[in-house]
Structure 1
Amino acid sequence: MTAGNDFDPDTADPELFRALLTPHRSLNRTGFVLVMVLVSAISFAAGMVFLLMGAWPVFGFFGLDVLAIYWAFKINFRRAQACEQISITPSELRLRRVSHRGHVSEWVFNPLWVRLDRETHEEFGIEHLYLSSKGHRVAIGSFLGPDEKASFSKALIAALNAARRGPSYNPVA
């Protein structure tokens, strides 16, 4: 055997596919500050009107409304920190899920045995995606929209098919 043909089993498998799925949030931090300033100004102005009319408790309720909106946005931004990482090599499919609280869950599948299951609604498109293998079923991409799920499933199926074909070693290249 020549040096060009040597096969080293200790070398890492080539990565065929890698995806990082994150929830979409349409409002960034600057937009959040602008919305909160606008809501606060409107609530303060409306509260002052009621305060001048003698209905002083209403002023406090407007403050509670602003606080509730702020709290809802903070929860929304915290949940946006969740992510799913999927990587495929010829020997394994690795799914790593990080929740918005920082809890990490990880699954490893053999790409030869894993199957991508889809639940489809005729009007809305793909509703749920699952990785299934040997009696285990794990939901993936739950925060993606139907079109994003369709695009992602197409890319994932192509990567799984490439993994099933196996690695190709070309000593010439």
Structure 2
Amino acid sequence: MPYEWTSPPGATDAPRAELQLWPYRSLPRRGMVIFIGITVALVSLPLLAVVGSPVLWGLLPFIVAAIAGLWWAIERSYSDGSVLETLLVWPDRVTLTRRNPRGPRQDWEANPYWVEVCLHEDGGPVETYITLRGAGREVEIGAFLTPEERKALYPELRRAMTRNPV
């Protein structure tokens, strides 16, 4: 799952629970390099027929531009997927921080006693989405998760919000 709960060591000022969420990566960096290498090899194979002729130099810029465009698109996808959400739960407050790839950092804070965890099955921007309501605001958490992952996260969030202070 592209999220992880951690319980920091027993320091007095440490949160009692920490949740980090990130988008799923179906193509790791190593896989991207292999994919680009295979693409270069497959595109270069037909060029063997025109090696030594001026046609090669006519085709080469377009092939290089296509490979560079593919590389750029995958890199852009990686940068767009660098979202990180961190939920920290203390006995007296809850904070949610979202670090956007090309935008400002977004923060939300509330008292966990008054925070309501809501699962919206339909009628929202995505299927089965989770919101936290408190301190006069409602914020979405884990928008990039799949509906199944959000359904699995919902009871865990409710449990973290209702747990008695340790």
Please give the alpha-carbon distance, in whole angstroms, between the structure 2 residues aligned to 1:57 and 1:160.
Answer: 64
Checking the alignment, whether the CA contact within 8 Å between 2:120 and 2:130 is kept in structure 1 is yes
Letter in 1 for 2:43: S
Structure 1 unpaired stretches of 5+? 1-10, 169-173
Checking the alignment, whether the CA contact within 8 Å between 1:126 and 1:150 is kept in structure 2 is no
Checking the alignment, whether the CA contact within 8 Å between 2:109 and 2:135 is kept in structure 1 is no
Shift of 1:55: 8.1
TM-score (normalised: structure 2): 0.77
Please give the alpha-carbon distance, in whole angstroms, between the structure 1 residues aligned to 2:71 and 2:61.
Answer: 15
Structure 1 or 2, whichever has the larger Rg, is 1
Alpha-carbon RMSD across the aligned residues, in angstroms, is: 2.8
Alignment identity in percent?
A: 24
**Paired positions, count:** 153
* Residue deviations 1:76-113 (CA, integer Å, cap 9, x gap): 22233220000112211110111124742221111111
Q: Which residue is equivalent to 1:28?
A: 28
After the TM superposition, list the runs of 4 or more consecutive aligned residues in structure 1 that deviate by more than 6 angstroms.
none
Structure 2 unpaired stretches of 5+? 1-10
Checking the alignment, whether the CA contact within 8 Å between 1:126 and 1:147 is kept in structure 2 is no
Q: 1:61 to 1:50 in 2, by over 3 A?
A: farther
Shift of 1:63: 2.0
Letter in 1 for 2:30: T
* Residue deviations 1:26-83 (CA, integer Å, cap 9, x gap): 2222111111111112222235557769486444322222111100111122233220
